[in-house]
Structure 1
Amino acid sequence: MGVRETKKKELQEKILKAAKELFLEEEFDQVTMSKIAKRAGVGLGTAYNYYASKEELYLVAGGTAYILGAESDIDNVPFSVEELINTLVNEIKKMTGIEKSSWRVSLSSLTKAAEKKPSLFLELIEIDHLFIEKVEEAINKLQTKGDIKADVSVSLLVELVYDAIFTSLLFYFYNEEETVEELSNKLSDKLSILLKI
């Protein structure tokens, strides 16, 4: 990697780190690109060169990338199906630390931002692939151990697990009455049905 590429990567990481910190400290509506740029120690124009909007940064730095990406506890290989289920539920519970209203605003804004920059969805899918790969690796190991039936398609099972997580989270974000405990129990039940077949 050349000097220019290294500098670009460092700037991008500074902006992501600043955004992550701010989204954890403040409500979504209170965070601005100006605040993110200031925290990162870069100019506002530089921040916009890397990210089109705070909504994009929210989901890349404060949403799934932060919560389900490189910092995932799934890296610690589970010894049982129950341990994998507990780990997945705990990972998803991290996402409930951000207000439901912030998620709704962000998801709505993301849809609008993606109309202007369709590659944004591809970036988010790539982030989710990191999470999916970790889940797939864990399921493969459990299947090799005999904890998950050998005749079950791992790739299909991983897709179903991801679908269960995604839909459970969406229902949680849009249902003000649903508690974190209810989300956890519902998700645990769904994952048990899928992984204990």
Structure 2
Amino acid sequence: MSNDKIGDKRHLRSAVTRQKLLEAAKEVFLEEGFQKATISQMIKKASIGYGTAYVHFEGKEDLLCVLMENVMAQFYEIAEISFFPKSKDEAEQIIQKQTYDFLKMAEAERNMMQIFEQAIGVSSVISDKWKAIREKFIHRISVDIAYSQQNGLAKAKLKHELVARGWFFTNEMYLWEIVRNEHHNSVEEIANTITTLYTTGLYL
């Protein structure tokens, strides 16, 4: 067998081990919560050796960071929807759908999002990870706002970075309310209301 084939097999085995550990970690986090969960429980559930586990991850925070990235990648796909509106109405339709899908995703991913919220409150590593994810979203929104301003659809005098930050924080506040099941209105009603407020303030 060639060295390439051996390398490929080793790489595949490594990827499978990593995935097994991530799946086990998710189960343990959901069963125990962030603070009570231990990497030992995850390693046991994944049926792999300690040494092997630590080749892939430094500890439970490292594992949760990857799980958070994976979940938030689904949210980011919504933010990345093509945004080239020709009118205020078209912009509002796209934004309303993005907002609704984003908040619906919070509902669908409620269990893991609850773990993330616990972890953000007690771990600086996870808190920093969340801040980095937030900045990625804000940057993406900022690009869309700049496009609308450059094309005469939105108020040019407003700083797009500042507007983007405000818009993301609005969405984030409702996201955590939905995750905690504390929202008093339907996701659709929330999305429609905040989109109308946002687009009325920003668009001409």
Question: Structure 1 length as normaliser, TM-score?
Answer: 0.67
Residue of structure 2 in register with 1:33 after alignment: 42
Question: 5+ unaligned residues in a row in structure 2: which ranges?
Answer: 1-13
User: Is the 2:138–2:164 contact (alpha carbons within 8 Å) kept by the matching residues of 1?
Assistant: yes
Distance change >3 Å, CA 103–CA 119, structure 1 → 2: closer
Q: Given the alignment of the two structures, is residue 195 of structure 1 paired with residue 199 of structure 2, yes or no?
A: yes
**Deviations 1:112-138 (CA, angstroms, capped at 9, x unpaired):** 2x1xxx243223222222222211111
Deviation at 1:165, TM superposition (A): 0.5
Residue of structure 2 in register with 1:3 after alignment: none
User: Is the 2:65–2:129 contact (alpha carbons within 8 Å) kept by the matching residues of 1?
Assistant: no
User: Matches of 1:150 and 1:173 in 2, distance apart?
Assistant: 35
Residue of structure 2 in register with 1:85 after alignment: 96
Residue of structure 1 in register with 2:22 after alignment: 19
CA-based RMSD of the aligned residues comes to 3.9
Deviation at 1:73, TM superposition (A): 4.9
Deviation at 1:196, TM superposition (A): 2.0
User: Is the 1:34–1:44 contact (alpha carbons within 8 Å) kept by the matching residues of 2?
Assistant: yes
Deviation at 1:176, TM superposition (A): 5.4
Distance change >3 Å, CA 38–CA 187, structure 1 → 2: farther
Q: Identity over aligned residues, as a percent?
A: 12
**Deviations 1:142-168 (CA, angstroms, capped at 9, x unpaired):** 122222122222122111101110111
Q: Given the alignment of the two structures, is residue 148 of structure 1 paired with residue 154 of structure 2, yes or no?
A: yes
Matched letter for residue 48 of structure 1: F
User: Matches of 2:179 and 2:112 in 1, distance apart?
Assistant: 9
Rg: which structure is higher?
2
Distance change >3 Å, CA 159–CA 129, structure 1 → 2: same
Matched letter for residue 108 of structure 1: Q
Listed as ranges, the matches of 1:57-96 within 5 Å are 57-62=66-71, 64=72, 66-69=73-76, 71-79=77-85, 80-82=90-92, 83-96=94-107
User: Is the 1:56–1:110 contact (alpha carbons within 8 Å) kept by the matching residues of 2?
Assistant: no
User: Matches of 1:88 and 1:20 in 2, distance apart?
Assistant: 29
**Deviations 1:7-34 (CA, angstroms, capped at 9, x unpaired):** xxxx79x8479737985x9982289633
The partner residue of 2:169 within 137, 144, 163 is 163
Residue of structure 2 in register with 1:136 after alignment: 142
User: Is the 1:75–1:134 contact (alpha carbons within 8 Å) kept by the matching residues of 2?
Assistant: no
The partner residue of 2:181 within 163, 168, 175 is 175
- The size of the alignment, in residue pairs, is 176
Q: Which has the larger displacement, 184-193 or 136-145?
A: 184-193
User: Matches of 1:55 and 1:141 in 2, distance apart?
Assistant: 35
Matched letter for residue 19 of structure 1: L
Distance change >3 Å, CA 176–CA 150, structure 1 → 2: closer
